Structure 1
Amino acid sequence: MKIKWFDKPQKHDYPAAASYLNLTKSRDEAETIAGELKLADMTEFAAKDIFRASGLSFLGVSNSHVEHDTAQIIRGEKLSPLLLYRDRVSGKLIIADGYHRLCAVYKFDEDATIPCKIV
């Protein structure tokens, strides 16, 4: 099954990323990172590599957000690219926006190439 993607993240993804980043960063820092993500070029990485770099666990099908994104894939609807941040302090990759989409895609193909922006 071919997974379809928008050409760029949706406008609402950036405030969502800032909100998530604000949990571990100051509000100003989170907003700055979100602004940098808006300006970043598109790139792509394999789903399995994003998981490995982030250190996060896979969310199963029982997660309602993963179920929603899985249904979008099955219906052939486009998904929004991921927003990623390389945390310079911890050395970890932070999925600022798109964790549930990543999990949904991974269910179909762990080698799938996922478009994203990264700073």
Structure 2
Amino acid sequence: MTGHIRLRLTQPQVTQVWADRGYAGDLVDWARERLWLSLRIVSRPKGTTGFVVLPCRWKVERTIGWCMNARRNARDYERLPQHSEAHLNWALVTMMTRRLTRKSPRTDTWSRKPRATQG
């Protein structure tokens, strides 16, 4: 089964994907026609220099950072993509169960949106 059909069958709730400017163009049409996804291109604001927090992308990058805290996900040890996917899922399940069973709410640097730096 090809990857795009598998995505539709296993994750039907995914309806929108954010992507970098490098993915603009034909991929937007392909995602709409084949995956029935809305591919939103996130661009830097005009006239900015240096590091800028881009809308929506910081959530994805933060989550990837959390996944990389799991030692096995920090390197590409697996032979099959399904094994890597399983380890990513396991890392996210572990993270969420720890957060859900926490005795008191805690805010840390990872749970807040970072501030944009002035360039």
- The higher-RCO structure (CA 8 Å, 6+ apart) is 1
TM-score, normalising length from structure 2?
0.21
Task: Specify which structure has the higher proportion of helix.
Answer: 2
In our comparison, the structure showing a higher alpha carbon Rg is 2
- Larger strand proportion of the pair: 1
TM-score (norm 1): 0.21
